[in-house]
Structure 1
Amino acid sequence: MADWKRIFTPDSPPLEIVVRGSVIYLALFFLLRVLLKRESGTTGVTDLLVIVLIADAAQNGMADDYTSVTDGVLLVVVIIGWSYLLDALAYRWPAAARLIRPRPLLLVRDGQILRRNMRRELVTDGELYGKLRQQGVDDLADVCEVRMESDGRFSVITRGRDRPHQPDEQDAG
């Protein structure tokens, strides 16, 4: 027989769950957005973060690590709430958008590698040339610009082209 009161009565104080969920979400957001931008691939950092945290929070609620389903549901609501709030802030205020969604970083300008920017994101020459080859560019002199986008993908604009090459899903990372 199910103990319905135990299932739906929170084990932890709701404020503690909100604080714990908020701290973990914001810490992971910072680490993924600022430090591991290049590693995020085609899935947006926020998308990846939300998926991982929701899966873990839901798993804890379902696997009886919490004895209350309410604890797991509240944690999932906190995670989704932070994701929505950060997206809304970035949409409404440009200053917040610069923190939440970094601008693309210029790696090559007019065929010249910008070493400082390459070091900043730990991009090696080999990795850069590999990304150029994947996009059909075999000579750096043909490149007008290469930018690393906020999601870690590389955009390449070659001389004589009006718009950047759109990387396919395999080009990410």
Structure 2
Amino acid sequence: MTVDWSAVFIPSLGVLEVVARGTLMYLALFAILRFIARRQAGQFGPADLLVIVLIADAAQNGLGKDYQSVTEGIVLVLTIVFWEYVIDWLAWRFPALRPVLTAPSLKLIENGHLVPDALRAEMLTEDELMSQLRQNEVEDVREVRLARLEGDGRISVLKRKV
């Protein structure tokens, strides 16, 4: 097996074109994510992760020679962001659609007792759950009145009154 050293070091696109594509895609993504996608980092769920992966792939296409223009890459990114916005708006505007469009929360602990079926359904070990509880300043399951795995993947905890 031989290495084509010229393909490794000699760009297939002009260096100025690579800089221009990179600059335009960066500025477009910055604007899109800054002004359109306004979720806080702590609220990213599986659907948001999917959008980020798709945006990354769409942006990559606009950076290389697969598309004829950066505009096509930007339009693809805007299309993905548009559909994410539409789904969020539908879930907000029409409560009847929420069970279809968003993941429901799942009860993991109730009145200091684990809900084994829920842990099994989510393949969540007690050690993983305890790690999440410690992040919520809970040392013992018996301190918890209610803990739920939210649709965005976070675990919310309500402590018992002392």
Task: Please indicate the TM-score interval, normalised by the length of the shorter structure.
Answer: 0.5 to 0.7
Alignment partner, residue 5 of structure 2: none
Alignment partner, residue 129 of structure 1: 130
Alignment partner, residue 113 of structure 2: 112
List aligned pairs for 1:82-97, cutoff 5 A. Answer: 82-97=83-98
TM-score by length of 2: 0.65
The alpha-carbon distance between structure 1 residues 133 and 73, as it changes in their structure 2 partners (threshold 3 A), is closer
TM-score by length of 1: 0.62
Q: Which residue identity lines up with residue 102 of structure 1 in the other structure?
A: A
Quick one: distance in 2 between partners of 1:73 and 1:132?
41
Q: Measure how far apart 1:42 and its partner are.
A: 4.5
Q: Which residue identity lines up with residue 146 of structure 1 in the other structure?
A: A
Alpha-carbon displacement from aligned partner over 1:105-160 (angstroms, at most 9, x marks no partner)? 11011111111111111111111122222322222222111111111111111111
How many residue pairs get matched? 122
- Name stretches of at least 5 consecutive residues in structure 2 with no aligned partner: 1-40
- Report 1 or 2 for greater relative contact order, CA contacts < 8 Å, sequence distance ≥ 6: 1
Cα contact 1:131–1:154 (8 A) shared by 2: yes
What is the percent sequence identity of the aligned residues? 46
Larger Cα-atom Rg? 2
Q: Which residue identity lines up with residue 116 of structure 1 in the other structure?
A: D
Cα contact 1:142–1:158 (8 A) shared by 2: yes
Cα contact 2:43–2:152 (8 A) shared by 1: yes
SS across alignment from 1:132 = helix
Give the aligned CA root-mean-square deviation in angstroms: 2.2
List aligned pairs for 1:17-32, cutoff 5 A. Answer: none
Determine whether 1:153 maps to 2:154. yes
Alpha-carbon displacement from aligned partner over 1:7-55 (angstroms, at most 9, x marks no partner)? xxxxxxxxxxxxxxxxxxxxxxxxxxxxxxxxx9742334333332222
- Name stretches of at least 5 consecutive residues in structure 1 with no aligned partner: 1-39, 162-173
Q: Which residue identity lines up with residue 93 of structure 1 in the other structure?
A: F
Q: Measure how far apart 1:99 and its partner are.
A: 2.0
